[in-house]
Structure 1
């Protein structure tokens, strides 16, 4: 480290632009500048000073504003891409159905590409969370890199400054004045500035009036709030902090609840109601109401059970009943920090199919076969040396591929079966392929057939299970962030220096981090009241000179 010794004798760290004690310019750039850079009070900034070791380079990378903005842009672009199609949690995927197939069914080839690229769950992906982590590191590094030097400088700022510091402020003025008149002006200025809510400090012939120093902390309070918010976002990947699961549960079914270990849900009944035509006209007063059905209510009447052991889905006798609730839209079942929402439903899902084993010629029935489409048996005994074996079950029959039946989904949307039928007349068995409105005999003509009788249906409730322990963290981060925005937007850090020189002059200098109009308004009030030197805005003077020169060059 190469320290810089000022003419006043103060030793400054390498990279310091203005002496920490007297404010003298220490670099050639500041010495030749008409207005000094007061962004960080001239303090040494690590990222702008050291760039030799690997640690320096890593620090400089993450503390760079350009890098931080670039990460924000990349994150926003990635988040925008995640809105092209619904995320996987919002896609209508029935229990047991493949998510990829659901994207293909709903969105075609684009959905397949979208899923294969990992964009279907973008916000939980490792690379998106890596971006969030890099953004948090960038914010922390930039805040420490600039905030700590600024805080130290403002905390330890001296009242008396060198004349070169005063002259290089944006607002500057001077005039010759007698010693007694100068003291009177300082006293009047102190009185007026206190009336304007400034904090005034005095030393021998020097006055520093300061107001709203806390305004400089606004951006760093923003950063703290944003870091807390991002921390909450990343916590959502930790087990137990954030749960957003889906459960499709049929009427009469008991199922374990994903994300709620030890809890089971029994669906007693699903109810779907629509407005009658007369009610539609009264409620909505629309011509379409007489034609289109409008949903009035859909709810699931459920019972929540808790088991100390793992338990078995469907066996509730050893479980503790903890809640009974009618789940409706916006009226979830809430228990132990969890909330179960009614999000979707499916009416009249196939539950069972009934067949008769009949003689094709005589039409005589050898018995009925009731097949549970959720868990079909492998064999159904009809007595009298007659039985039916289920050799193949295809819940959603989609056709043949090289002579083999295919199923697109484990859900019973279009069931098909390969039956082997045994009767006293056909002890070796006969094979038949049966689908809805389709019967094939692949191994030759059969004497018996499985004749379709009827179907049983049931409704299915689509529930969403949510638990979010990160909400308080996100709320705290958001509140702190907004506090920083308010502080940084509505207040400005203002300072006025008055200094009597040994050669009979009174110097005036002023600075604010923003809102120069208000600063100048305060200066006008105190200048008139305390007979202070007339001041000029040196930056505006330079801009006017530049405009005049450009005008002369144009002529």
Structure 2
């Protein structure tokens, strides 16, 4: 579109309301000048033809940005009603867990995908849309505003002066030159930057405050980028590892390079008899109160791995992992967050003859509940095969046996025993269902029985594995956001114009906020001078303006 040339010679983009140079209104619109964005032409209000224009105009709208924020807030709030999938007990099936724990609402929560909200595609699209809205809205306003403030002249058009909210005029007096110099010194003392042109003055202060919202946007965009980087591989890790006492487990997120061993798990309770500051609270507590729980851990690194041989581990360090005292290595931290005491670990079984109710020559075998063997070949040609293993047994909706998870909280094992002389490949054995206080024969009468002889339990520690390379980006965005917030909140942009034209002195002022401070600064200029007072033209219906100046026909005192 063609540019609009003002009478001062400056070429303004199409749609400009106030000339960027002299301030002359290029459109007659209202009694007072619309000084928002200095009356410049914004792209979103000028170009509306192509698809690019429509997309730009859509995302530059403040209303659209607010609606995106509302949608993010509402969806994020819903995502906190129930725990995300990463925080449910390890081994639980999400499709069953939410319905069992939270009923119909939990099932609906899972079906709608809120159990993995913050990594869902539509939530990522909302964050991306907010980022695009911030960038486009900022560019749509910042670029023309910067150009207008940079090009503004000291001498402004008379119509510009008269359309300012704070304005006054009076005839030129013999002391005008001296009054202008006195005003210039007073303004410079108030830390205004004063420019002079053809005997006219422009005093400006706090222009940097106008960029506060845009600094806010930059900080928020960086913050959003940091949040989205969490979904890139290697940038963020938040996972669990459960380690039994005496066991060594691979640390997730390390590509099988690092391992942690649980040497010992300790739980310490507050002593109710010891007098301390918590005594009153402990007295009211019926159950024991944990004062500390920690894991005495050893960190290993895989030193070499040869085909056909076991992995060799190199010890790195020993560390006592406690709450807020993690084990940290290679940017990864292991935090103590949970534990399980006396978890079932091993069952020891013996084979008993139904004739004499005695063990057959002390034949026994041990089943590791976390990793059971499928076949046990025993002495005297006895064989035991595990047909089915349910670590956490329950009957599902179809009336069939199943397991809630892989944690052995309620184990059930279906054994098939093959006595001597019975061929496992041709004959069927004696099938039994065995668990804690459960021993059922499933295929008729048996000549032998599998009896539980011993139970071993072990403590299990729950460690969070966390790595966050996005934190510096998020902190940087937060700091920049706060700088912009302070910049735009505690300072304000003020301008005062003093000029002589057509035998009159005109004074005008504008502030983006805090008009009271601007009026006080203008009132100070009258001290010891014959400069005119200025009225707030929004308050002309009153007998006196907020500065206490009596109104005159000239609009000044």
Give the TM-score taking structure 1 as reference length. Answer: 0.92
Residue 104 of structure 1 and its aligned partner are, at CA, apart by: 3.5
Question: What's 1:182 paired with?
Answer: 176
Which of 98, 104, 109 is the equivalent residue of 1:114?
Answer: 109
* SS at 1:455 equivalent: strand
Q: Is the 8 A contact 2:244 2:459 kept in 1?
A: yes
Q: Quote the Cα distance in structure 2 between the aligned partners of 1:15 and 1:64.
A: 17
1:320-339 alignment, distance < 5 Å: 320-339=314-333
* SS at 1:319 equivalent: strand
Q: C-alpha offsets along residues 70-126 of structure 1, whole Å, 9 cap, x if unaligned?
A: 1111111111111111222332x22x4333333334323322221221111212222
- Residues 401, 52 of structure 1: alpha-carbon distance in 2 compared, 3 angstrom cutoff: closer
Question: What's 2:225 paired with?
Answer: 231
Q: Is the 8 A contact 1:419 1:434 kept in 2?
A: yes
Which of 337, 358, 365 is the equivalent residue of 1:364?
Answer: 358
Q: Is the 8 A contact 1:281 1:290 kept in 2?
A: no
* SS at 1:439 equivalent: strand
- Residues 43, 404 of structure 1: alpha-carbon distance in 2 compared, 3 angstrom cutoff: closer
Question: What's 2:199 paired with?
Answer: 205
Residue 404 of structure 1 and its aligned partner are, at CA, apart by: 4.7
1:450-465 alignment, distance < 5 Å: 450-465=450-465
Which of 367, 391, 394 is the equivalent residue of 1:395?
Answer: 391
Question: What's 1:471 paired with?
Answer: 471
Q: Quote the Cα distance in structure 2 between the aligned partners of 1:287 and 1:266.
A: 34
Residue 238 of structure 1 and its aligned partner are, at CA, apart by: 1.0
1:108-507 alignment, distance < 5 Å: 108-178=103-173, 180-261=174-255, 262-279=257-274, 283-286=278-281, 288=283, 291-307=286-302, 318-366=312-360, 367-399=363-395, 404-424=400-420, 428=427, 429-501=429-501, 503-507=502-506
- Residues 399, 216 of structure 1: alpha-carbon distance in 2 compared, 3 angstrom cutoff: closer
Residue 147 of structure 1 and its aligned partner are, at CA, apart by: 0.6
- Residues 356, 150 of structure 1: alpha-carbon distance in 2 compared, 3 angstrom cutoff: same
Which of 39, 44, 55 is the equivalent residue of 1:42?
Answer: 39
* SS at 1:278 equivalent: coil
Residue 193 of structure 1 and its aligned partner are, at CA, apart by: 0.6
Q: Quote the Cα distance in structure 2 between the aligned partners of 1:368 and 1:69.
A: 70
Q: Quote the Cα distance in structure 2 between the aligned partners of 1:170 and 1:477.
A: 37
Q: C-alpha offsets along residues 351-391 of structure 1, whole Å, 9 cap, x if unaligned?
A: 11111110123012121121111121222222222222222
Q: Is the 8 A contact 1:306 1:321 kept in 2?
A: yes
- Residues 387, 136 of structure 1: alpha-carbon distance in 2 compared, 3 angstrom cutoff: same
Which of 90, 94, 101 is the equivalent residue of 1:99?
Answer: 94
* SS at 1:398 equivalent: strand
Q: Is the 8 A contact 2:32 2:163 kept in 1?
A: yes
Question: What's 2:552 paired with?
Answer: none
Moved more, 137-146 or 399-408: 399-408
Gaps (5+ residues) in structure 1? Answer: 546-555
Question: What's 1:62 paired with?
Answer: 59
Relative to total residues, which structure has the larger helix share, 1 or 2?
1
* SS at 1:277 equivalent: coil
Question: What's 1:25 paired with?
Answer: 25
Residue 287 of structure 1 and its aligned partner are, at CA, apart by: 6.2
- 1:90 paired to 2:87: yes
Q: C-alpha offsets along residues 397-422 of structure 1, whole Å, 9 cap, x if unaligned?
A: 21487775322222211121222222
Residue 160 of structure 1 and its aligned partner are, at CA, apart by: 0.6
Residue 44 of structure 1 and its aligned partner are, at CA, apart by: 0.9
- Residues 327, 102 of structure 1: alpha-carbon distance in 2 compared, 3 angstrom cutoff: farther
1:511-526 alignment, distance < 5 Å: 511-526=510-525
Q: Is the 8 A contact 1:506 1:533 kept in 2?
A: yes
* SS at 2:252 equivalent: coil
Q: Is the 8 A contact 2:282 2:289 kept in 1?
A: no
Residue 432 of structure 1 and its aligned partner are, at CA, apart by: 1.9
Q: Is the 8 A contact 2:237 2:467 kept in 1?
A: yes
Moved more, 59-68 or 428-437: 428-437
Q: Is the 8 A contact 1:280 1:290 kept in 2?
A: no
Question: What's 1:550 paired with?
Answer: none
Question: What's 1:549 paired with?
Answer: none
Residue 442 of structure 1 and its aligned partner are, at CA, apart by: 2.2
Residue 53 of structure 1 and its aligned partner are, at CA, apart by: 0.6
* SS at 2:36 equivalent: coil
Q: Quote the Cα distance in structure 1 between the aligned partners of 2:275 and 2:412.
A: 41
Give the TM-score taking structure 2 as reference length. Answer: 0.91
Residue 241 of structure 1 and its aligned partner are, at CA, apart by: 1.3
- Residues 64, 478 of structure 1: alpha-carbon distance in 2 compared, 3 angstrom cutoff: same
Q: Quote the Cα distance in structure 2 between the aligned partners of 1:298 and 1:148.
A: 57
- Residues 435, 65 of structure 1: alpha-carbon distance in 2 compared, 3 angstrom cutoff: same
